[in-house]
Amino acid sequence: MESIARPMRRLQQEIAWFVRAGELRLLHVTTDATLRGGALDLVMAHEHHADNRGLFLRLDDPMADVGRGWGARIQRLKEQIAEKTTSLKPVGIHLRPLDEVAVPGQGGRAEFAATLLNVARVLVAPLTNVVVVMAPVRVESPELFVEDMAALIRAPQLGHVRWIVVEADGRALTPLVTGLGERALAWSCLVDESAAEDDLAAMGAANVADLGNSGAGAAATPAPGISKPRPWRAPGAMPDVEPPARIGQSRPVSDRDLVAAGLAPGFVNGGGEAMKRLVLGGALAMRQGKTTDALTLQARAAALCGEMHMPREQVINLHVLGGYLIAASLPDRAREIYARSGEIARSHGLADAEASSELALGMMAMGEGRAAQAAKHYAAAGDLAEVAKVPPLAIECWRMAGQLALDAKLDGSAVECWKRALAVAGELDPAVAKATSAAEVARALAAVCRKRGLRAQADELDRRSIAIEQGTVGAAGWSAASGVARGGAA
């Protein structure tokens, strides 16, 4: 996979240079959803570089809502300092205790900067600096993101702090990088498109010519359809001669054995390889601009999953097909495909897969500006995620359903959706709840409370949101959420 290996190798070189070149204040990495995880792992691995003298601290919290996540980042700093204090002791590095900020604020950028200032007092030899890895999973306002980062990076009091900023949804910091001149380094870690097609072809991507005349067969080579592998034969044996049993040869595996092991016989006996080639062929065709071929190959991959009695995989492949249809400007057909995938998931009791289909329909409606319809799809996904016992997904679905309802001026429905999200979060362990979007839901409800003049409830919800982010309390007992409902619905 040279299309991925090439940018990752180059990124490794850039990070290594940043570690060595102490005069650099900022390394700006732009990437995408495909490589973001790998890029961040590579960045954090350089804390163990032989030339590194910095303490790496990673912050993924979203730049969202009024507080822009600074309260969560402060808590994350404290947690990571505590973890590193413990992990460094065995190698003889005893970090000093982290002092509390003298005048705590409301979790804003100023308090975050003050906390970073205190981190300087934690450092002991051989550590000389702190490397803050800022990688927000979502940035709602790029302008405010740039403003915050510029203030922190240029602050003379934070001279002991170096920054690695990873952006996966744009290049907002490019002007700041330019302004810093030789004190900044930038690198774009994206899939190498020139090598991607070669990768897909090397992995055996099929093309439309591999399909049978009816278009219903699986990819050819080894054979159209699903066929079992040919048994071994002695060199020169006639076609009708059965091969002798080998010494110690086990009994051939039957389809019944495969089913008992939880495997689809058709998948094991050639269908899996055929499906892989079809999916790769569809992806390659899309890259080459051959949209019709891509749709044909991907549709056949989905159909093949149905023939092999693999409903979950069929739903996944239909979702891919829906994405191709959207890219081909065929939204009506895409909607039909997503609706069909939901029906298949429902008929097989796959609530989580059905939730994914509702999310796809919701995202389409949202993109088309139909906020009320999108809210219904997200709410349906929230119900299904609860049935499937996937609380983080349920919370996010209810959060989005509420936001979309609010956009559609359905304040009462928005409140009900957010109450459902907090009810789900209330059943979680606080450590789990803080990793969800429950805190964002609490802040959204607080805003509605203020709009209705319910200041006490709004303040309580704000305090709860901070507590959730700190992992000190769950979302149970939301009297404020009940209060906003009593305060009247739109």
CATH number at residue 8: 3.40.50.300
Q: Are 133 and 56 in contact (CB under 8 A)?
A: yes
- Each residue's pLDDT tens digit, 329-350: 999 999 999 999 999 999 999 9
Alpha helices in 89-173 (DSSP H): 109-119, 142-154
Asked whether residue 382 is assigned to any structural domain, the reply reads: no
Residue 486 has pLDDT above 60, yes or no: no
Residue 1 has pLDDT above 90, yes or no: no
pLDDT tier for residue 312 given thresholds of 50, 70 and 90: very high
Asked whether residue 321 is assigned to any structural domain, the reply reads: no
- The predicted pLDDT at position 243 comes to 63
Residue 232 has pLDDT above 50, yes or no: yes
pLDDT tier for residue 161 given thresholds of 50, 70 and 90: very high
Average pLDDT over residues 51-65: 89
In order of 430, 483, 484, 487, the CA distances from 455 in angstroms are 25, 11, 10, 11
Structure tokens at 75: 């808590």
- The predicted pLDDT at position 484 comes to 55
Lowest pLDDT segment from 110-119, 304-313, 433-442, 481-490: 481-490
Residue 453 has pLDDT above 90, yes or no: no
Residue with tokens 């592998």: 229
Asked whether residue 355 is assigned to any structural domain, the reply reads: no
CB atoms < 10 A from the CB of 258, how many? 16
CB atoms < 10 A from the CB of 218, how many? 28
- The burial of 55, by beta-carbon neighbours within 10 Å (0-12 exposed, 13-18 middle, 19 or more buried), is given as buried
Lowest pLDDT segment from 206-210, 298-302, 391-395, 452-456: 206-210
Residues in the chain: 490
Residue 291 has pLDDT above 70, yes or no: yes
- The predicted pLDDT at position 466 comes to 84
- The predicted pLDDT at position 469 comes to 80
Residue 205 has pLDDT above 50, yes or no: yes
Asked whether residue 486 is assigned to any structural domain, the reply reads: yes
pLDDT tier for residue 224 given thresholds of 50, 70 and 90: very low
Residue 218 has pLDDT above 60, yes or no: no
- The predicted pLDDT at position 434 comes to 83
Residue 89 lies in domain: 2-198
Q: Looking at per-residue confidence, does 408 or 98 come out higher? A: 408
- The predicted pLDDT at position 435 comes to 85
HEC string of the chain equals CHHHHHHHHHHHHHHHHHHHCCCCCEEEEECCCCCHHHHHHHHHHHHHCCCCCEEEEEECCCECCCCCCHHHHHHHHHHHHHHHHHHHHHHCCCCCCCCCCCCCCCCCHHHHHHHHHHHCCCCCCCCCEEEEEECCCCECCHHHHHHHHHHHHHCHHHCCEEEEEEECCCCCCHHHHHHHHHHEEEEECCCCHHHHHHHHHHCCCCCHHHCCCCCCCCCCCCCCCCCCCCCCCCCCCCCCCCCCCCCCCCCCCCHHHHHHCCCCHHHHHHHHHHHHHHHHHHHHHHHCCCHHHHHHHHHHHHHHHHHCCCHHHHHHHHHHHHHHHHHCCCHHHHHHHHHHHHHHHHHCCCHHHHHHHHHHHHHHHHHCCCHHHHHHHHHHHHHHHHHCCCHHHHHHHHHHHHHHHHHCCCHHHHHHHHHHHHHHHHCCCHHHHCCCCHHHHHHHHHHHHHHCCCHHHHHHHHHHHHHHHHCCCCCCCCHHHHHHHHCCCC
Asked whether residue 293 is assigned to any structural domain, the reply reads: no
Q: Are 7 and 191 in contact (CB under 8 A)?
A: yes
Three-state SS at 164: strand
Asked whether residue 276 is assigned to any structural domain, the reply reads: no
- The predicted pLDDT at position 215 comes to 39
Residue 238 has pLDDT above 70, yes or no: no
Which of 198, 226, 248 is the C-terminal boundary of a domain? 198
The amino acid at residue 433 is: A
**Cα(135)–Cα(97) distance, integer angstroms:** 26
**Cα(339)–Cα(357) distance, integer angstroms:** 7
Q: Looking at per-residue confidence, does 404 or 234 come out higher? A: 404
Residue 37 has pLDDT above 80, yes or no: yes
- Each residue's pLDDT tens digit, 101-143: 765 555 588 888 999 998 988 999 999 999 999 999 888 888 9
Asked whether residue 450 is assigned to any structural domain, the reply reads: yes
Asked whether residue 270 is assigned to any structural domain, the reply reads: no
From the centroid of its chain, how far is CA 17? 28
User: What pTM was computed for the model?
Assistant: 0.68
Return the closest-CA partner of residue 311 out of 281, 347, 338. Answer: 347
Domain count for the chain: 2
Structure tokens at 374: 């999108």
Which of 198, 218, 237 is the C-terminal boundary of a domain? 198
Return the closest-CA partner of residue 161 out of 115, 100, 98. Answer: 115
Structure tokens at 319: 């979702």
- The predicted pLDDT at position 170 comes to 79
Average pLDDT in the chain: 85
Residue 175 has pLDDT above 70, yes or no: yes
- The predicted pLDDT at position 98 comes to 86
pLDDT tier for residue 475 given thresholds of 50, 70 and 90: low
Which of 160, 180, 198 is the C-terminal boundary of a domain? 198
